Chain A
């Protein structure tokens, strides 16, 4: 997707410094910003306004096969930005500065192995989670004050949120996901949404979850090619 430019300071100083540093080493060539911190980008570039934001900054990293020509010590880079590294009780590597925490996520291809994976080329560990590739497969680049950030297009973020919200065990995160979806929904581009949902291969159970999330936020499931519920049976249309 095309590059968009802005001279506005979209992010607060520590976040902006971090993103600029990551951009300078080519991190966003393969990886992207995800989580609630994409919302300021959506507000700036797509007019989708959502004020609530958590203090954890999530990045999706691509697990590349084979050796990458260059290796970057991302851990060292993040520490040089004033972040302190720490490992949580569940073994997840995070970085903290002034209450902000950084976390890396990777796409999990099936299975239930939730152990963090070491990303050799970046010298960091990432948590493998399912459906992350929906976002990493549909990126857009944003140029903010001289540096570039990659983030998922809203349509991919939207589908990902609809799926994950239905899989949440607790209500609060589920509601937050759905609220973000309801904010994004009016600004979605149907053509791009079609591109996203036609490219992903999801089980009928997952499509049921999408439909159920759509119903909660009053978003027509037909926009995903999902047919109307008939006699309690949910079907995926063309």
Chain B
């Protein structure tokens, strides 16, 4: 294949990659919106020489900080969801960086979004 064709293959792959990243980011952000926000904290209280621990979820809601009590039975599920949220956030960040990079490359090639869409 000649150079022009090769270049078309590369720019086509970059456009496909951009679409793939955007699709993944969209799906990840959607999944992220369904997961609880905030961090899990423990509050210890002393009562009659005995130490009691309470778990609560701390998150920001607009201007205010919310401390929401978490019952023992919900703790395991909440921990799993918070951990998944962290994972999704990392993934979203990685796609955002990649999308910005791909857009930069494609625009510097004089092809801001690629000429053609295909699937």
Distance in angstroms between the alpha carbons of A101 and B22 in the assembled complex: 12
Chain A, residues 159-175, CB within 8 Å of chain B (1/0): the string is 00000000011111111
Say whether chain A's binding surface is mostly helix, strand, loop, or mixed: mixed
What is the 8 Å Cβ interface bit string for chain A, positions 73-110, against chain B (1 contact, 0 not)?
00000000010101111000010111101000000000
Contact in complex: A172, B12 (CB < 8 Å):
yes
Residue B31 CB within 8 A of the other chain: yes
Does A176 lie within 8 Å of B17, measured CB to CB? Answer: no
Contact with A along B13-24 (1 / 0, CB 8 A): 101110011011
B12 touches A175 (CB 8 A): yes
Distance A55 CA – B102 CA, assembled complex (angstroms): 13
Q: Give Cα A146 to B71, complex, Å.
A: 46
| Residues of B with C-beta under 8 A to A170 | 12, 116-119
Query: How would you classify the secondary structure of chain B's contact residues: helix, strand, loop or mixed?
Result: helix
A224 CB, nearest partner CB in chain B, Å: 21
Instruction: Report the interface size for chain A: residues with CB under 8 A from the other chain.
Output: 28
A-B contact count (CB 8 A): 85
Q: A55-B20, A179-B6 known; A171 and B118 CB under 8 Å?
A: yes
How far apart sit A94 and B28, CA to CA, in the bound complex (Å)? Answer: 10
Q: How far is the CA of A173 from the CA of B6 in the complex (A)?
A: 12
- Known interface pairs A84-B91, A168-B118, A172-B12; A96-B20 also in contact (CB < 8 Å): no
Q: Count the B residues whose beta carbon is within 8 Å of the partner chain — how many?
A: 32
B74 within 8 Å of A by Cβ? no
Docked Cα-Cα span, A175 to B2, in Å, equals: 12
B13, A54: Cβ atoms closer than 8 Å: yes
**A222-235 interface code vs B (CB 8 A; 1 in, 0 out):** 00000000000000
Contact A171 B8, beta carbon cutoff 8 Å: yes
Q: What are 26 of the A-B contact pairs (CB < 8 Å)?
A: A52-B9, A54-B16, A84-B87, A84-B91, A86-B24, A86-B31, A87-B27, A94-B27, A96-B24, A96-B95, A98-B94, A99-B94, A99-B95, A101-B24, A169-B118, A169-B119, A170-B117, A171-B8, A171-B12, A171-B118, A172-B12, A172-B114, A173-B12, A173-B118, A175-B12, A176-B12
Closest 10 CB pairs between A and B?
A: A170-B118, A172-B12, A86-B27, A84-B87, A175-B9, A88-B27, A96-B91, A179-B9, A99-B94, A84-B91
Q: Which residues of B contact A (CB under 8 A)?
A: 1, 5-6, 8-13, 15-17, 20-21, 23-24, 26-28, 31, 84, 87-88, 91, 94-95, 98, 114, 116-119
Q: Which residues of A contact B (CB under 8 A)?
A: 52, 54-56, 82, 84, 86-89, 94, 96-99, 101, 168-176, 178-179, 182
